Amino acid sequence: MIDVDGVPLAYDDVGEGPPVMLLHAGVADRRMWQHQVTALRERYRILNVDLPGYGDSGLPPDGYAKHEAVAGLLTALDVGQAALVGCSLGGAVALDVALAYPDRVRALALFAPAVSGHRWSEDFHELAESRFAGIDEEDLEAVARAEVDMWAVGPDREPDDLDPAFLRFAFEMNLRAVRGEAALDAVSSVALTPPAVGRLGEIEVPTLVMVGAADVAEMHRLADQITATVPRAQRVPDVPDTAHLLPLERPDLVNPILHDFLA
């Protein structure tokens, strides 16, 4: 644990070589990268961090910003520049860091990335409403189950078709994330201004974009937008029969691609 401008951040620092920072999805914590840590630590210095309020990280003070906390952690660890690898929310944070501190980022690897400032479509809101219909928002276990069904399973797959151990772990991480987010609701945050959605063309570093074929349609549209707008972006083929947590669900396909990109 390290204090970064009043934000208590939990992180792992393993391996030696060029620094690579891993930024988890909002439905997870840094444990979602376990397969990537194992695969990359022989060649890279891996910084695997829990974002403020998630996992083992503490509740941040009012006025915190996720991208500032990440940049502050790099400074605290005396890392001048790193490749940022982000999934979902972590992808949005990685993009924000690249825009706010372009000299601190040497590459971006984005898995089903969100984008700050993006306005979610009516189709997405309808899908979310169908998944959360009838659920008491104070029943955090029910909320976590619904989020796992929407994100880890995906809209077009059935839970019975997936590895039960994967789903149990996804629920465990998501329940912890939901509890963390309930606490974060009482804390004010600061967003990147202007947000990333209108500034993607400013990002100059090599950028990998990857999405699971079974993820929600909105994530595919966001991946298309990033690929079309970031000058040095490349989108690899969608990972078959895989939803939102593709680095955790299919490391056998993700890791070789990530290795090649970082090299």
pLDDT in tens, 120-179: 888 888 887 887 777 877 888 888 998 999 899 999 898 988 999 999 999 999 999 999
> What is the domain partition of the chain in residue ranges?
2-118+187-262, 122-184
Residue 132, pLDDT score: 79
Mention every residue, 6+ apart, whose C-beta is less than 8 A from residue 242: 212, 213, 214, 215, 249, 250, 253
Question: Of 50, 68, 67, whose CA–CA distance to 59 is shortest?
Answer: 50
Mean pLDDT score, 112-120: 93
Instruction: Calculate mean pLDDT across residues 246-253.
Output: 95
Q: Do the beta carbons of residue 209 and residue 236 sit within 8 Å?
A: yes
| 210-224 per-position pLDDT tens digit | 999 999 999 999 999
Element (H or E) spanning 226, and its range?
A: helix 217-229
Convert the pLDDT of each residue in 9-46 to its tens digit.
999 999 999 999 999 999 999 999 999 999 999 999 99
Average pLDDT over the chain reads: 93
Give the C-alpha separation, 184 to 244, whole Å: 23
In the structure encoding, which two tokens stand for residue 112, read together? 């089903």
For position 203, what pLDDT does the model report? 97
- For the entire predicted model, the pTM comes to 0.94
**Residue 156 or 54, more confident:** 54
Higher pLDDT, 137 or 245: 245
CATH topology of domain 2-118+187-262: Rossmann fold (3.40.50)
